[in-house]
Amino acid sequence: MRAILAAAVLAAMPFVLGAYQLSLLTGGLAYGLMAASLALLVGHAGLPSLGHAAFLGVGAYAAGLTAKHLSESAVVQLGAAVLAGVVFALVTGWFAVRTRGFFFLMFTLAIGEIAVQAATRSGRVTGGDNGLSGIPVSTLFGLETAMPYVVVFYWWALAVVAAGFAVLAAVRRGPLGAAIAGTRENEARMAAFGYSVPGVRLAAVTVAGAVCAAGGALVAQKDTFVAPTHLGVGVSVLLLVMVLLGGRDSLAGPALAAVGLIALRDVTSGALGDKWLLVEGALFVLCVYLLPEGLAGLWRKRARAA
Amino acid sequence: MSLLVNAFDGLAFGALLFVLAVGLTLIYGMLDVLNLAHGALYMAGGYIAYLLLGGASVSLGLWAGAALLVAALGVALGGVLSAAILPLRGRGHLDQALLTLGLAILLSEFLLGVVDRGFHTLPPPDGLDGSVLGSYPLYRVAVIAAGLVIGGIVYWIFERTRAGALVRAAVDDPGMLAAIGVNVARVRLSVMLAGCGLATFAGVLGLPLLNLRAGLDSEVLVLALIVIVIGGLASIRGAVVGALLVGQVQTVGVALAPELAAYLLFAVMAAVLLWNPSGMFGRAR
Amino acid sequence: MRFALLALAVALAAGCGGAATQQAADDSVVKVGAIISQTGVYSALGDDMEAAMRLYLDEHGGKLGGKPARLVVADDAGTPETGQQKARQLTLQDQVNVITGLIASPVAVAVAKEAAAQKTPVVIANAGADALGGPGVFRVSYTNYMHGYAAGRYAAESYGKDGAVLMGADYSAGTETLKGFAEGYAKGGGAKPLKQILTPFGKTQNFQPYLSQIPAEAKFLYVFYAGGEAITFAKNFKQFGYDTKLKLLTCQNITDEDVLQAIGADAEGITSVGLYSPALDNPENQAFTAKWKAKTGKNPSAVALQSWDAMSLIDQAAKRGGDLAQALGQVGEIASPRGPFTLDAKHNPVQNWYVREYSGGVNKVIATIAPEAS
């Protein structure tokens, strides 16, 4: 019910916001979805990843290359991105799920950095470090001819983000989600029940990777540009921070943190010049002390009190 | 011949990485704290030494005095860090990671604000700025020597003294240690202080090799994390082997396979983790 | 509750600048949007860039083309995604007349694309990517290719026709500069370089393993490094005694003012090819270096000069009046501290290059490479 209400309010935003704010919010929603997908790994599966941006980048490059060479349809590009995300998740996750905790963190960091190098050094395909340019603007069911593109694209992004959230929520609630949580809590018992622990973990990585790649497609379509920095540790850290600020056991929390952090950066970097990073550093410190469960803790506390 | 020089040079970088990473691995092993401010501490060591010595070449005595002073400041910063982490007991590594990341940003941006965002460095102290055997920089030999001395001291404390035995015991079984009346909190604090002091000291030691700049903190943090992951956590031997391996990968490795240089370090780390998911000398945790 | 927080976040996002959106374009003011790395790995250059732009405005009564000017600085944090977002903000919200700044090439590519979509002209003050361009894109710095090409021509003339080895950072600025060098060298009659050594960009803390790959028969080395890597390279080259084994020719960045202090004595004697030297003997340069020194106490860097010239180009174009994008292409010769230069059909500078030898604290000009007659 709340989700529907939130979607309705968000859908009305084009009537409230200007073009720039709308594009900022579009980016915020895409990052929100990607942060929520990472929360599935970090919170639900107990797999802290420092290479999640690789999925963003794989999805973005897949969508951008599809747009450039195959189809200008946003839906086709999205499909290509999700497919690429699944393949990338299966190939890298197969190895990654053998490690745990801090070692998983570092293994995924290695995957991300190797992906950055691969994108940088495949200049013929990816445009190298100067990025993939010449991506055409996506078509959106012909609606873009009737209305301003930023508005149509915002609704498209909102629809994709809503669908992605629905997938994440369904997985969390369903039998796979229970199995994933089980491997986090007690590997030995899950194995005794006949589950393949690496298999369950790989499924978690694949779902999170596919959803994140969908977010990556939105980034590529919004900016009609992708660069190797999209895959790098800087973005991975940002996504992880969004999860921790929002609350790792939640989907809405990280999404909210993503929108909030992007808005905060926008305001502070404009107003403070090179001092905006100090505000961000202080925010991280304060949040650790004041919001131990992240933003999600705020409404949980409320619910408990009621 | 040139590969021998590469290998020797790898020792110099390995020695520096060891001094940097040994504190990180002990802090992780002992306090169960993932200290993402370790790179910022290294950077702070470099910037404070630069502020003290003004970028000019100075005598070895003055240099060493500054390095010790910086290490002492590092110990003080370690105290601050311990206090900051204290309220987070029992909350897991990721909360510590976010806290120390925030503190690292505050520290490094503060330093860049105090000095500036430009590039800075410090020449080696007088007497160590020459070269040996025709054309090998003497300072790098000195870094190897410093690494050996510090490694020896750490090893001696760890393996041969009562304090070291307590530290080892605290890694293995803190409950038992507390039960026999040892103040485990104090053991932990001393490891934290020593680790942070070593990190800032490494910042001075590395100053003539890695220039000061924005982003230096995360660059060295990633290197240190790779070292401790390869070696395995909470293991001095692991830190030695990890640091030496990373040093060789970055010198002999890239000389042998220059076209793979950009991938090599991360590929080696990934390969070590596939072979043993807890690092070379690590225990599963 | 969750909904309320969500709404709050949206309101927060909406709050940034808010009312500015509907602001009408104001013709009485020239608004310049400068996308500069204020944070991140390129921020050392960013400080010089901003200082030079502000200095230009201060020296010209805060006016461009006779109208009061406003400089809006935005931080790209070194990434194209942020840069593009800032370009969107500057065009849609701040309604700037022109975008300038732009240190890193990937950022410039993304920004130029966004600005073209919003029909706002761009004056690039640093980024060198060869592919950058377009009807509304003007560049007062250089292309990487031309930077290397000029050095290649000079090397063929003065360093011998064979025995060249090239070395540089493995990213587009490095490979494009080295490609330009190889072609300029071939144009001057030089043989194919013996070897090209590429080092991982931004990840190389030690050049010894790469220097050791220089073949024994090498006669000279041409290198491209910038920023922190330039410092490490220059020191390693000297400390490992390579300066006694072979001659060195470098890009301008290795002995640029932003790195010289850190390189220290090891910079002595390095010969480089660049578009500027603080020692150039012309009235524009004397005035510029004096002002810059008074403000910062240092010699101006190449980025400072380029940023000054970016403002100068905007100033002259604004003076011409009419559509700024068109006027930027019609300015003709620009009197710059580097010497006069013009923009070619692709809006890239046609300019002298200078062979500079660093000695006694300054890059002394020892030869001038005039533009090739086309």
Shortest CA distance from C261: residue in chain B: B120
- Give the ipTM: 0.93
* Neighbors of chain A by Cβ distance (3+ pairs < 8 Å): B, C
The predicted pLDDT at position C21 comes to 43
**Is pLDDT of C5 > 60?**
no
**Averaged pLDDT, B18-26:** 94
pLDDT by residue (tens digit) across B35-89? 999 999 999 999 999 999 987 788 999 999 999 999 999 999 999 999 999 999 8
Q: What gap in Å lies between CA C248 and CA B68, rounded to an integer?
A: 39
Residue C198: DSSP 8-state: E
Contacts of A48 in chain B (CB under 8 A): 93-94
The predicted pLDDT at position A56 comes to 98
Contacts of A101 in chain B (CB under 8 A): 93, 285
Q: Distance from B253 to chain C by nearest Cα, in Å? A: 9
The predicted pLDDT at position C54 comes to 97
Q: What gap in Å lies between CA B264 and CA A5, rounded to an integer?
A: 50
* Residue at C6 is within a domain: no
**Averaged pLDDT, B95-108:** 96
* Residue at C311 is within a domain: yes
Nearest to A280 by CA among A258, A265, A295: A265
What is the Cβ-side half-sphere exposure of residue A248, based on CA atoms within 13 angstroms?
23
pLDDT by residue (tens digit) across A159-195? 999 999 999 999 999 999 999 999 999 999 999 999 9
Q: Distance from C170 to chain A by nearest Cα, in Å? A: 9
The percentage of chain B sitting over the pLDDT mark of 90, rounded to a whole number, equals 66
Residue type, C45: L
pLDDT band at B171 (very low <50, low <70, confident <90, very high): confident
> Mean pLDDT of all residues in chain C?
91
Which H/E stretch holds residue A206?
helix A197-223
Shared domain for C54 and C131, answered yes or no, is yes
Residue C128's domain is classified under what CATH number? 3.40.50.2300
Contacts of B83 in chain A (CB under 8 A): none
Out of B257-266, C28-37, C180-189, pick the least confident: B257-266
Shared domain for C199 and C236, answered yes or no, is yes
Q: Say if B54 is an interface residue toward chain C (CB within 8 Å).
A: no
Q: What is the total residue count of chain B?
A: 285
The predicted pLDDT at position B31 comes to 81
Whether A285 sits inside 8 A of B99 (CB atoms) is: yes
**Is pLDDT of C193 > 80?**
yes
Residue B161: DSSP 8-state: S
The predicted pLDDT at position A306 comes to 60
DSSP bridge partners of C271: C249, C357
Is C224 within 8 Å of C251 (Cβ atoms)? Answer: yes
**Averaged pLDDT, C187-199:** 95
Q: Which of residues 141-200 of B touch A (CB under 8 A)?
A: none
Q: What gap in Å lies between CA C374 and CA C370, rounded to an integer?
A: 12
**Longest C-alpha distance within chain A, in Å?**
59
pLDDT by residue (tens digit) across C63-108? 999 999 999 999 999 999 999 999 999 999 999 999 999 999 999 9
* Residue at C11 is within a domain: no
Could you give the 3-state DSSP secondary structure of residue C139? strand
* Residue at C251 is within a domain: yes
Is C127 within 8 Å of C162 (Cβ atoms)? Answer: no
Contacts of B269 in chain A (CB under 8 A): 106-107, 110
Query: What range does the domain containing C245 cover?
Result: 145-274+354-369
Whether C205 sits inside 8 A of B250 (CB atoms) is: yes
Alpha carbon C339 to its chain centroid, in Å, reads: 17
Whether A285 sits inside 8 A of B262 (CB atoms) is: no
Shared domain for C65 and C133, answered yes or no, is yes
**Is pLDDT of C8 > 70?**
no
Residue ranges in chain A modelled with pLDDT below 70: 305-306
**Is pLDDT of B260 > 50?**
yes
Cβ contacts from A onto B, under 8 A: 105
Shortest CA distance from C45: residue in chain B: B118
Angle between helix axes B184-205 and B138-160 (nearest 10 degrees) is: 170
Whether C265 sits inside 8 A of B55 (CB atoms) is: no
Alpha helices, H only, chain B: 2-31, 38-53, 60-85, 93-114, 138-160, 162-172, 174-179, 184-205, 216-231, 236-248, 254-256, 261-275
Contacts of B121 in chain C (CB under 8 A): 231, 235, 262-264
Whether C210 sits inside 8 A of B120 (CB atoms) is: no
Q: Supply φ then ψ for residue C77, to 5 degrees.
A: 55, 15
pLDDT band at C6 (very low <50, low <70, confident <90, very high): low
Shared domain for C322 and C365, answered yes or no, is no
Exposed, middle or buried, B78 (CB in 10 Å: 0-12/13-18/19+)?
buried
Mutate to test the interface with C, among A68, A269, A302 (most CBs of C within 10 A): A269
The percentage of chain C sitting over the pLDDT mark of 90, rounded to a whole number, equals 87
Q: What gap in Å lies between CA C170 and CA C163, rounded to an integer?
A: 22
Shared domain for C79 and C223, answered yes or no, is no
Mutate to test the interface with C, among B106, B111, B117, B216 (most CBs of C within 10 A): B117
Shortest CA distance from B109: residue in chain A: A278
The predicted pLDDT at position C1 comes to 45
β-strands C195-200, C164-170 pairing: parallel
* Neighbors of chain B by Cβ distance (3+ pairs < 8 Å): A, C
Out of A11-25, B186-200, C16-30, pick the least confident: C16-30
The partner residue sitting opposite C106, judged by closest CB among A10, A229, A234, is A229
Shared domain for C251 and C365, answered yes or no, is yes
The predicted pLDDT at position A244 comes to 96
Q: Say if B138 is an interface residue toward chain C (CB within 8 Å).
A: no
Cβ contacts from A onto C, under 8 A: 144
pLDDT by residue (tens digit) across C263-312? 988 999 999 999 999 999 999 999 999 999 999 999 999 999 999 999 99
Shortest CA distance from C266: residue in chain B: B123
Out of B116-130, C133-147, C326-340, pick the least confident: B116-130
Question: CA end-to-end span of chain A, whole Å?
Answer: 18
The predicted pLDDT at position C372 comes to 83
Q: Distance from A294 to chain B by nearest Cα, in Å? A: 10
Shared domain for C86 and C189, answered yes or no, is no
| C255-C260-C265 Cα angle (round to 5) | 105
Shared domain for C219 and C131, answered yes or no, is no
Shared domain for C204 and C260, answered yes or no, is yes
Shared domain for C134 and C150, answered yes or no, is no
Match 């480089």 to its residue by tokens.
C272
Number of domains in chain C: 2
Question: How many angstroms separate the Cα of C133 from the Cα of each of A66, B284, C130, C138, C318?
Answer: 24, 55, 8, 7, 21
The predicted pLDDT at position C3 comes to 47
Shared domain for C358 and C219, answered yes or no, is yes
**Is pLDDT of B256 > 80?**
yes
**Is pLDDT of B163 > 90?**
no
Rg (CA), chain B: 19
Greater confidence (C370 vs B177) lies with: C370
- In sequence order, what are the residues at sequence separation of 6 or more whose Cβ sits closer than 8 angstroms to the Cβ of residue A126? A61, A119, A120, A132, A226, A228
| Token digits of residue C241 | 């005694």
- In sequence order, what are the residues at sequence separation of 6 or more whose Cβ sits closer than 8 angstroms to the Cβ of residue B95? A244, A288, A292, B88
Q: Say if C297 is an interface residue toward chain B (CB within 8 Å).
A: no
pLDDT band at C9 (very low <50, low <70, confident <90, very high): low
Q: What gap in Å lies between CA C243 and CA C220, rounded to an integer?
A: 10
Shared domain for C56 and C169, answered yes or no, is no
The predicted pLDDT at position B262 comes to 87
Contacts of B251 in chain C (CB under 8 A): 206, 208-209
Q: Distance from A212 to chain B by nearest Cα, in Å? A: 21
The partner residue sitting opposite B106, judged by closest CB among A95, A98, A278, is A278
